[in-house]
């Protein structure tokens, strides 16, 4: 038997050319998912799955599958009842330890727990024993059909129910349900092999209310009524081999729209939104055309479905042949701002259809290829749709983002190779979470990971040309589509999986170029490059002496060696130079082409061939240099800090045609508050050919410059006359023209300018009265009656402008804020905000943008001491039932309040919401906001930081968030921000752990030893690579004394049964495998060690864990009730427990009409 | 009467017509008319209309002086006779509302008889037009009765409408509403009025041309439109309907206008929101003062995305107004395949809930669907019966 995927990543890379080797001792070929009952009232699901597998080893006796949350009633293999064990170590990461509160420990334990059930390593939560009757059958490697009956009750993750509480039937209420989750989360709603690398064909059946529609992957074969004609069954077939993780479902009373341009594409939205859906999706066919054209490959699936649902987990989720979007992306033709955003989302999801859904990945470390390619082709679409300027601007934005993130938190590693599994080799030791698994990653890290992936793809394109790049993609796709049409027996399906190795090999085959250095630099290594550049002009030699330094010692940086492009704009033209950055050379001499001379009315040629007249009076008479740019094409992931004179930046802003260069110069000009900078910026603002985003950022720069120049500033406030000229009436300059947003460029400028102007300050550091009056007038005279577009975003920005104009209140001995001492300007602002906010109740704006801005403005007023600081208003807006944007804005204000006012009560309120809010996105968002704007940090003294809070957060990440990977990682992020890696300082010193903890701080990398020593558990001591799961485990067979020590309250009732089955499971022929299976890390365990353990030991450890968790779905086990009763009940002995269980079962009526529940009593699990 | 006349003139001229009515109720004018009415039966419809209205309103006898001054009423004659015709054929008789006419004094009696006669002539001519060669007296009488009832009902109902809007004089729009309310398709009227084979009732013998007081004639009276018989009364004097707009010096100053519009809107908004805040629950930013900046309390929605995403009615209206041409374009392009698909899907959804229709509709549906073959548009199959239907 091959190693059960101990280090799949490494293995794949080495053996990549041999094709994919499954970590499982069997191969899945087909899976049936049948959900025959969905109850919206109870939020429950009943169904079964049937997996068809072919054993690949003769002695296969256990089959591991993934399943979380599901209650499994019965498992049959080839119609024979099969015993099974369910264990999920991720439910509660750390057990039986009360005082250990350090994150290092947790992260390791969590990583170990995740790998213990990692399908990419052949593991799973559900272990099914092949009945002995079938052993012979298995030895002949014959097909097995595993039939599993399961149900889901009130799922907390994986499937999300949205049931509005209004009158009417579920369909009338717009109740719907959809699958969601981060990465492989399909196991949350049906048992499967939840891996991106295990492909199979699918048959999906969903029986739903006759008024509902079930949308799922593949082709809808037929829809059939049930016998009572009150329900109908949707039959789907997906013949293209697909990973379970790419299976999705959405059920609701959807309105159906067949795409008018492509009839095989169907769109679905919630009732009443059809007109919006029509408009929103009217553009989709162009995206299809674009991708099919550049990839020279047809869309791989025979149909495509888009579903727009409420309370979305993420805005865009791509699954095989269908995408699930947030309903908030829908918009009408009147909305300007949302349109490009929504189109981007559509394009993104479609790119992922090709790479991510159709082509899947071999292992987690190959994820970057898929994200990179889909992000890259999405970028190409952006370039074509929104233009080169927008594209370059986006690339620059993404680059800045990744650079900022890496410099802040350390590197982002695209292709982690986990050598040997030693913690010391951990490539990401600077991080407080493991990057071995997608499920242990911080969400922000993952976002940045995707961002870096597509930037690196672009770097590869730079190296091998776009043509070759597209050829590689085409090759991958055509291989995959050939493979997809093959039968399983041909063993071709692994061609549909992409690996880093395979991808790189394709590149070298197609292009013949060696991109290994590039890959090594950006893919195998983390970090970005930080350049510092300065120059001097040597007049005698007519040479530009450029000095480029690097910082590669700070965290998140790396050294760059290789070519670097430098563009020098001289009087005679623009010249590119490629420098070789080497280890020790800092200086580079670049010969200049033009003599320094005063040009007499000679035009200056630019890079793009254009020739322009320039006023050269500003420049240095001796030097022919106009401006210099380092790495203008962004072909290195870098941050450049370059020093050049202010007039050079000004020339660059005015005459360089690249938007990135313009943006850079705007940023640089902030440091040069001179009339010349002012003039340059004003000119840019007025220039209509200039890219609108550049003009927008020029506004803010101008405001900053004006503030720096406040004592010497002449004329009206910055931008005022400009705005008047552009947007106000000719006859009465104080009145703005009636809105006409036909020209989007000027619309965006019109929106932004007042916001920037409001940042102006006079000598007293107050917003000039003139500016405030100006903004108030804009609001007063705003007239949208003749406009084709909605002005809601514009009005919202006006409120933002008002908020920007607010300056801290002058407070005399901390007087209480009342109406009487309200500043008259603030009174005016408040008047507007009140009116806007109230009008929103009567005439709501699109996405309630105005409410959102009003709430933010109120918080600003509170924070500046004009209005009493009070979270009640925000808390009422944060309630469930408000539009999500409003809720987030209100929650942001509460988070801010918690920080500023150090309110324990509000923090508790927020934490409570994190635990209980119905919308996963909001819960995630609160954690994120708390992390971004923490009430305190690890080095800060705060009254909020106390033991109870530590315990609460610990509980949240340890067991409270087991149903949502993203949420758990969010909780870890928050814990890290608040307390850091080590034990929180507010905790009392643990009696025993003190010394060890100190020691551990030195050896941060292997803290798992500590709990083992603390608990004094012999077994873990034997196994030093041990895992948290073993902590607190006691061998139930060792002595009755030991048994007492187990928290019987949480121990699973049918422990006796389980141990019995464990013995049954044991098949004498292959003990190594069996032990290995339960070994959580699955490595480094020598046969000797294994034989030292009693056979049942390891599995039992697992059971004690499993049962401590709140979520457990074994046979007929009503975990909810048990969980509730947990605290009341005291310790039980086995027998009591059994009694109790049966009693409880009697009391509790079966809620499912499924026959499975009835049969479960007869299932072997109860037979003893 | 042309269609656009109904639509536009009513709106534009409504006021003037009313003025017209007023002018003619001047008693000094009415004398001539009365005498004429006595001698010659007036066009029946307008009289009937008039009669019933007045009877309800004011039981005393009165001269039906201004029926003819109202071109709209006048021209209704033929329409209503047609309607009576259709009503008769449909067999939907209405109980007469003539009671008002009976209690009148002698001239009114006369008048009543004359009306009756004219109605009979109308009925007869309609019958002839419909191809009858002879008719029994009783049936003619019945039809006459029905016609009269119908016309009376129009009058009564129009009167109610007019009073409903706090007016005393019915305008054309009241009549239109009445007709619509009675289930009559107004749009068909103009065509009917102008039908080629229509019979024109011979002009009633005119003995004395009513003398229009010279003092009031000004300019040329408007000629009749071609479909109005020439014996019908002439248009009233132009001054009664010619518009002489009077206006103050218009405020053309852009600044003042904008200023005014802005402050007006602001006042309305403030008043409205304050009202809402006063009448409902509020929140306040200041604990000590809840009235200065009252915020309408945030109330969660059951389906929050609907209000957030759907454009408000105001916006919809605005969109239609601002840009109808573009809209048209859009619908034009959408029209081709999209409408079919959506209609289908809509129908399909209904269809699925109504099982009975399902099988019967399948056949006809197949034809339409050959355009678009989408699995979600296909009919839901019945259980067990697994016949393969060819769908495309």
Question: How would you write A457-505 as a 3-class SS string?
Answer: HHHHHHHHCHHHHHHHHHHHHHHHHHHHHCCHHHCCHHHHEECHHHHHH
Provide the chain B residues 193-252 that lie in CB contact (below 8 A) with chain A: none
Weakest-pLDDT range from A7-21, A190-204, A688-702? A7-21
Residues of A in contact with B268 (CB under 8 A): none
Of A226, A274, A873, the CB nearest to B283: A873
Res. A10 pLDDT band, cuts 50 70 90:
very low
Summarize pLDDT for A911-935 with one digit per residue, the tens.
999 999 999 999 999 999 999 999 9
Measured between CA atoms, the residue of chain A closest to residue B305 is: A883
B87 pLDDT higher than 80: no
Res. B209 pLDDT band, cuts 50 70 90:
low
Summarize pLDDT for A1000-1044 with one digit per residue, the tens.
444 333 333 334 333 333 333 333 333 333 333 333 343 333 333
The whole-number pLDDT of residue A79 equals 92
The whole-number pLDDT of residue A999 equals 40
Residues of B in contact with A874 (CB under 8 A): none
The whole-number pLDDT of residue A486 equals 87
Of A211, A841, A861, the CB nearest to B296: A841
A918/A920 Cα distance (integer angstroms):
6
Residues of B in contact with A893 (CB under 8 A): none
Whether the CB of B388 is below 8 Å from some CB of chain A: the reply is no
A1130 pLDDT higher than 80: no
| Inter-chain touch A735–B258, beta carbons under 8 Å | yes
Residues of A in contact with B383 (CB under 8 A): 224-227, 229
Weakest-pLDDT range from A93-97, A381-385, A955-959? A93-97
For range A784-808, the mean pLDDT: 94
Measured between CA atoms, the residue of chain B closest to residue A781 is: B262
Res. B205 pLDDT band, cuts 50 70 90:
low
B65 pLDDT higher than 80: no
Whether the CB of B331 is below 8 Å from some CB of chain A: the reply is no
Whether the CB of B383 is below 8 Å from some CB of chain A: the reply is yes
Res. B231 pLDDT band, cuts 50 70 90:
confident
Res. A1143 pLDDT band, cuts 50 70 90:
very low
For range A547-574, the mean pLDDT: 91
The whole-number pLDDT of residue B17 equals 39
DSSP A217: S
Q: Which residues contact A443 (CB under 8 A, 6 or more apart)?
A: A182, A924, A928, A966, A969, A970, A973
What is the distance in angstroms between the Cα of A733 and the nearest Cα belonging to chain B?
9
A410 pLDDT higher than 60: yes
Q: Percentage of chain B surpassing pLDDT 90?
A: 10
The whole-number pLDDT of residue A238 equals 95
Q: Could you tell me which residue, A981 or A290, shows the higher pLDDT?
A: A290
Of A257, A731, A843, the CB nearest to B254: A731
- SS3 for chain B, per residue? CCHHHHHHHHHHHHHHHHHHHHHHCCHHHHHHHHHHHHHCCCCHHHHHHHHHHHHHHCCCCCCCCCHHHCHHHHCHHHHHHHHHHHHHHHCCCCCCCCHHHHCCCHHHHHHHHHHHHHHHHHHHHHHHHCCCCCCCHHHHHHHHHHHHHHHHHHHHHHHHHHHHCCCCCCCHHHHHHHHHHCCCCCCHHHHHHCCCCCCCCCCCCCCCCCCCCHHHCCCCCCCCCCCCCCCCCCCCCHHHHCCCCCCCCCCCCHHHHHHHHHHHHHHHHHHHHHHHHHHCCEECCCCCCCCCCCEECCCCCCCHHHHHHCCCHHHHHHHHHHCHHHHHHHHHHHHHHHHHHHHHHHHHHHHHHCHHHHHHHHHHHHHHHCCCCCCCCCCCECCCCCCCCCCC
| Inter-chain touch A222–B381, beta carbons under 8 Å | yes
Res. B206 pLDDT band, cuts 50 70 90:
low
Q: Percentage of chain A surpassing pLDDT 70?
A: 80
Res. A1047 pLDDT band, cuts 50 70 90:
very low
Q: How far is CA B169 from CA A1126, B6, B12, B173, B273, in A?
A: 82, 17, 16, 11, 39
Summarize pLDDT for A469-512 with one digit per residue, the tens.
999 999 999 999 999 998 877 788 989 999 999 999 999 999 99
Summarize pLDDT for B153-196 with one digit per residue, the tens.
999 999 999 998 888 888 888 999 999 988 888 888 888 888 87
DSSP A905-957: HHHHHHHHHHHH-S-HHHHHHHHHHHHHS-SS-TTS--TT--HHHHHHHHHII
- For residue A1035, the tally of other CB atoms under 10 A from its CB is 19
The whole-number pLDDT of residue A1065 equals 47
B6 pLDDT higher than 50: no
Residues of A in contact with B391 (CB under 8 A): none
Of A224, A264, A835, the CB nearest to B383: A224
Residues of A in contact with B269 (CB under 8 A): 835, 839
The whole-number pLDDT of residue A1123 equals 47
What is the distance in angstroms between the Cα of B372 and the nearest Cα belonging to chain A?
6
Summarize pLDDT for A565-616 with one digit per residue, the tens.
999 999 888 999 999 998 776 889 999 887 756 555 678 889 888 888 888 8
Tell me the two tokens of residue A178. Answer: 């959809």
Weakest-pLDDT range from A167-171, A1070-1074, B138-142? A1070-1074
Summarize pLDDT for A97-111 with one digit per residue, the tens.
666 788 888 998 999
Summarize pLDDT for A124-166 with one digit per residue, the tens.
999 999 999 999 999 999 999 999 999 999 999 999 999 998 8
Q: Which of A829, A883, A894 to mutate to test the interface with B (most CBs of B within 10 A)?
A: A883
A290/B135 Cα distance (integer angstroms):
77
Summarize pLDDT for A308-356 with one digit per residue, the tens.
999 999 999 999 999 999 999 999 999 999 999 999 999 999 999 999 9
Provide the chain B residues 336-375 that lie in CB contact (below 8 A) with chain A: 336-338, 341-342, 344-345, 348-349, 352-353, 355, 372-375
What is the distance in angstroms between the Cα of B369 and the nearest Cα belonging to chain A?
11
| Inter-chain touch B309–A276, beta carbons under 8 Å | yes
A182/A180 Cα distance (integer angstroms):
7
Whether the CB of B268 is below 8 Å from some CB of chain A: the reply is no
Summarize pLDDT for B253-286 with one digit per residue, the tens.
888 889 999 999 999 998 998 888 888 888 888 8
Summarize pLDDT for A699-752 with one digit per residue, the tens.
999 999 999 999 999 889 999 999 999 999 888 888 999 999 999 999 999 999
Count of CB pairs separated by less than 8 Å, A with B: 215
| Inter-chain touch B345–A256, beta carbons under 8 Å | yes
Res. B2 pLDDT band, cuts 50 70 90:
very low
Q: Could you tell me which residue, A120 or A594, shows the higher pLDDT?
A: A120
The whole-number pLDDT of residue A660 equals 96
For range B349-363, the mean pLDDT: 38
Measured between CA atoms, the residue of chain A closest to residue B276 is: A838
Spatial contact of A539 and A623, defined as CB atoms under 8 Å apart: yes
The whole-number pLDDT of residue A715 equals 87
Residues of B in contact with A729 (CB under 8 A): 254-255, 258
The whole-number pLDDT of residue A358 equals 95
Measured between CA atoms, the residue of chain A closest to residue B343 is: A257
For range A1117-1144, the mean pLDDT: 45
A737 CB burial (10 A radius; 0-12, 13-18, 19+)? middle
DSSP A515-560: -HHHHHHHTSS--BEEEEEEEEEETTTTEEEEEEEE--SSTTB---
Whether the CB of B376 is below 8 Å from some CB of chain A: the reply is yes
Per-chain mean pLDDT for chain A = 83
| Inter-chain touch A837–B296, beta carbons under 8 Å | yes
DSSP A736: B
A34 forms bridges with which residues in the sheet? A48, A205
Tokens 């200086």 sit on residue = A587
Residues of B in contact with A166 (CB under 8 A): 302-303
Counting every residue written for chain A, the total comes to 1168
| Inter-chain touch A884–B326, beta carbons under 8 Å | no
A1121 pLDDT higher than 90: no
What is the distance in angstroms between the Cα of A225 and the nearest Cα belonging to chain B?
5
A669 forms bridges with which residues in the sheet? none
Whether the CB of B131 is below 8 Å from some CB of chain A: the reply is no
Q: Which of A844, A850, A873, A918 to mutate to test the interface with B (most CBs of B within 10 A)?
A: A844
Res. B325 pLDDT band, cuts 50 70 90:
very low
Summarize pLDDT for A229-241 with one digit per residue, the tens.
999 999 999 999 9
- For residue A609, the tally of other CB atoms under 10 A from its CB is 8
């Amino acid at each position: 038997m091959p190693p059960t995927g101990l280090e799949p990543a490494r293995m794949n890379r080495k053996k990549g050319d041999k094709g994919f080797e499954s970590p499982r001792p069997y191969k899945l070929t087909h899976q049936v998912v049948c959900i025959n009952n969905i109850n919206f009232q109870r939020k429950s699901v009943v169904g079964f799955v049937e997996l068809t597998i072919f054993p690949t080893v003769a002695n296969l006796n256990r089959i591991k599958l993934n399943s979380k949350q599901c209650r499994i009633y019965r498992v049959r293999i080839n119609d024979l009842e099969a015993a099974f064990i369910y264990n999920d170590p991720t439910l509660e990461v750390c057990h039986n330890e009360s005082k250990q509160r350090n994150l290092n420990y947790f992260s390791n334990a969590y990583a170990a727990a995740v790998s213990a059930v990692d399908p990419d390593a052949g593991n799973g939560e559900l272990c099914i024993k092949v009945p002995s009757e079938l052993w012979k059958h298995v030895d002949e490697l014959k097909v097995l059909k595993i039939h599993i009956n399961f149900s889901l009750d009130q799922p907390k993750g994986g499937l999300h129910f949205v049931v509005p509480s209004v009158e009417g039937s579920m369909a009338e209420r717009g109740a719907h349900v959809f699958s969601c989750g981060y990465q492989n989360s399909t196991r949350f709603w049906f048992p499967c092999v939840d891996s991106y690398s295990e492909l199979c064909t699918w048959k999906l059946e969903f029986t739903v209310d006759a008024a509902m529609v079930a949308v799922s992957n593949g082709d809808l074969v037929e829809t059939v009524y049930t016998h009572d004609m009150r329900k109908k069954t949707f039959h789907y077939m997906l013949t293209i081999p697909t990973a379970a993780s790419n299976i999705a479902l959405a059920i609701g009373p959807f309105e159906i729209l067949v795409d008018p341009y492509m009839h095989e594409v169907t769109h679905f939205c919630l009732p009443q939104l059809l007109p919006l859906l029509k408009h929103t999706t009217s553009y989709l066919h162009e995206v299809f055309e674009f991708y099919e054209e550049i990839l020279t490959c047809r869309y791989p699936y025979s149909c495509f479905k888009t579903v727009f649902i409420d309370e979305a987990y993420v805005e865009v989720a791509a699954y095989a042949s269908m995408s699930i979007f947030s309903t908030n992306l829908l918009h009408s033709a009147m909305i300007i701002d949302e349109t490009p955003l929504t189109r981007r989302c559509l394009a993104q999801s479609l790119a992922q259809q090709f790479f991510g859904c159709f082509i899947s990945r071999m292992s987690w470390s190959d994820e970057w290829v898929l994200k990179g390619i889909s992000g890259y082709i999405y970028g190409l679409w952006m370039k074509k749709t929104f233009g080169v300027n927008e594209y370059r601007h986006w690339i620059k934005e993404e680059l800045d983002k990744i650079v900022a993130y890496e410099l802040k938190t350390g590197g982002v590693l695209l292709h982690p190779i986990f050598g040997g599994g030693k913690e010391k080799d951990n490539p990401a030791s600077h991080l407080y979470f493991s990057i071995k698994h997608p499920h242990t990653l911080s969400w922000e890290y993952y976002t940045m990971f995707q961002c870096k992936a597509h930037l690196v793809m672009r770097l590869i394109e730079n190296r091998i040309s776009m043509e070759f790049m597209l050829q590689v993609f085409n090759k991958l796709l055509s291989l995959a589509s050939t493979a997809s049409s093959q039968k399983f027996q041909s063993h071709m399906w692994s061609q549909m999986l992409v690996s880093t190795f395979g991808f790189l090999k394709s590149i070298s085959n197609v292009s013949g170029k060696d991109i290994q250095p590039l890959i090594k630099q950006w893919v195998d290594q983390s970090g970005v490059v930080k350049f510092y550049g300065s120059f001097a002009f040597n007049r005698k030699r007519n040479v530009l002496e450029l000095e480029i330094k690097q910082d590669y010692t700070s965290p998140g940086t790396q050294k760059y060696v290789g070519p670097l492009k430098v563009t020098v704009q001289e009087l005679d033209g623009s010249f590119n130079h490629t420098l070789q950055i080497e280890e020790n050379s800092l200086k580079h001499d670049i010969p200049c082409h033009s003599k320094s001379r005063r040009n007499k009315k000679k035009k200056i040629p630019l890079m793009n061939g254009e020739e322009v007249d320039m006023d050269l009076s500003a420049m240095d008479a001796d030097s022919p240099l106009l401006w210099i740019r380092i790495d203008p094409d962004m072909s290195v992931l870098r941050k450049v800090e370059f020093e050049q004179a202010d007039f050079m930046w000004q020339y660059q802003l005015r005459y360089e045609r690249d938007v990135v260069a313009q943006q850079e110069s705007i940023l640089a000009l902030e440091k040069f508050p001179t009339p010349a900078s002012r003039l340059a910026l004003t000119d840019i603002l007025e220039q209509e050919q200039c890219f609108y985003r550049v003009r927008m950022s020029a506004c803010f720069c101008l405001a900053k410059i004006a503030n720096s120049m406040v004592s010497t500033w002449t004329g009206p406030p910055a931008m005022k006359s400009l705005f008047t000229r552009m947007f106000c009436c000719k006859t009465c300059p104080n009145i703005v023209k009636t809105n006409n947003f036909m020209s989007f460029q000027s619309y965006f400028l019109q929106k932004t300018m007042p916001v920037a102007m409001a940042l102006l300050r006079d000598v007293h550091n107050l917003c000039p009265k003139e500016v405030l009056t100006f903004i108030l007038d804009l609001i007063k005279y705003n007239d949208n009656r003749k406009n084709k577009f909605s002005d809601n975003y514009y009005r919202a920005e006006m409120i933002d402008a008002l908020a920007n104009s607010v300056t801290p209140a002058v407070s005399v001995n901390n007087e209480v804020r009342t109406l009487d001492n309200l500043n008259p300007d603030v009174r005016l602002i408040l008047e507007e905000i009140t009116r806007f906010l109230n009008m929103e109740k009567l005439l709501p704006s699109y996405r309630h943008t105005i409410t959102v801005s009003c709430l933010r403005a109120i918080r600003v007023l509170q924070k500046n001491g004009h209005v009493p600081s009070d979270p009640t208003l925000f808390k009422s807006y944060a309630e469930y039932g408000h539009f999500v944007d409003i809720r987030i804005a209100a929650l942001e204000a509460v988070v801010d309040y918690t920080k500023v006012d150090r309110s324990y009560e509000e923090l508790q309120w927020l934490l409570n919401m994190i635990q209980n809010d119905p919308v996963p996105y909001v819960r995630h968002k609160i954690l994120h906001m708390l992390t971004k704007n923490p009430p305190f940090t690890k080095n800060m003294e705060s009254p909020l930081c106390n033991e109870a809070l530590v315990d609460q957060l610990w509980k949240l990440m340890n067991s409270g968030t087991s149903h949502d990977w993203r949420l758990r990682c969010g909780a870890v992020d928050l814990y890290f921000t608040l307390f850091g890696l080590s034990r929180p300082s507010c905790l009392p010193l643990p009696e025993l752990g003190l010394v060890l903890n100190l020691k551990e701080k030195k050896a941060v990398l292997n803290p798992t030893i500590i709990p083992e020593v603390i608990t004094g558990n012999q077994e873990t001591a034997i196994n030093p690579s041990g895992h948290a799961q073993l902590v607190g485990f006691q061998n139930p067979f060792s002595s009755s004394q030991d048994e007492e020590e187990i928290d019987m309250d949480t121990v699973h009732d049918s422990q006796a049964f389980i141990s019995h089955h464990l013995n049954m499971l044991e098949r004498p022929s292959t003990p190594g495998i069996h032990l290995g299976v339960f070994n959580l890390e699955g490595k480094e365990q020598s046969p000797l060690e294994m034989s030292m353990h009693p056979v049942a030991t390891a599995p039992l450890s697992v059971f004690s864990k499993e049962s401590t968790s709140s979520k457990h779905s074994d046979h007929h086990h009503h975990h909810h009730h048990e969980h509730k009763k947990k605290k009341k009940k005291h310790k039980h002995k086995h027998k009591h427990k059994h009694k109790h269980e049966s009693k409880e079962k009697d009391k509790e009526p079966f809620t499912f009409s499924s026959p499975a529940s009835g049969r479960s009593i007869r299932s072997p699990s109860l037979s003893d | 009467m042309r269609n656009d006349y109904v639509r536009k003139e009513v709106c534009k001229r409504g006021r003037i017509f009313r003025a017209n009515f007023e002018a003619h109720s001047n008693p000094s004018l009415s004398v001539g008319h009365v005498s004429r009415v006595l001698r010659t039966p007036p066009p029946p419809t307008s009289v009937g209309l008039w009669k019933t209205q007045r009877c309800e309103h004011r039981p005393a006898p009165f001269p039906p002086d201004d029926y003819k001054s109202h071109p709209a009423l006048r021209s209704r004659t033929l329409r209503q006779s047609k309607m009576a015709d259709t009503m008769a054929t449909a067999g939907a008789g209405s109980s007469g509302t003539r009671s008002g006419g009976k209690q009148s004094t002698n001239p009114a009696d006369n008048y009543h008889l004359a009306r009756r006669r004219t109605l009979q002539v109308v009925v007869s001519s309609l019958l002839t037009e419909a191809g009858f060669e002879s008719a029994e007296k009783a049936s003619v009488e019945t039809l006459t009765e029905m016609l009269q009832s119908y016309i009376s009902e129009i009058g009564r109902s129009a009167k109610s409408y007019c009073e409903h809007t706090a007016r005393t004089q019915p305008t054309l729009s009241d009549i239109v509403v009445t007709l619509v309310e009675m289930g009559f398709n107004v749009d068909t009227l103009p065509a009917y009025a102008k039908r080629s084979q229509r019979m024109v009732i011979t002009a009633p013998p005119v003995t004395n041309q009513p003398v229009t007081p010279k003092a009031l004639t000004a300019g040329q009276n408007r000629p009749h439109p071609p479909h109005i018989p020439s014996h019908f009364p002439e248009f009233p004097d132009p001054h009664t309907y010619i518009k002489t707009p009077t206006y103050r010096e218009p405020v053309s100053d852009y600044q003042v206008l904008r200023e005014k519009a802005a402050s007006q809107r602001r006042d309305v908004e403030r008043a409205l929101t304050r009202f809402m805040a006063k009448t409902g629950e509020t929140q306040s930013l200041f604990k000590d003062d809840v009235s200065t900046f009252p915020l309408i309390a945030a109330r969660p929605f059951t389906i929050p995305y609907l209000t957030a995403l759907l454009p408000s009615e105001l916006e919809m209206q605005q969109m239609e107004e601002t840009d109808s041409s573009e809209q048209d374009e859009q619908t034009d392009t959408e029209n081709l395949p999209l409408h079919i698909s959506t209609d289908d899907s809509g129908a399909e959804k209904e269809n699925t809930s109504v099982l009975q229709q399902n099988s019967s509709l399948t056949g006809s549906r197949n034809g339409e669907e050959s355009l678009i073959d989408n699995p979600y548009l296909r009919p839901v199959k019945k259980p067990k019966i697994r016949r393969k239907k060819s769908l495309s």
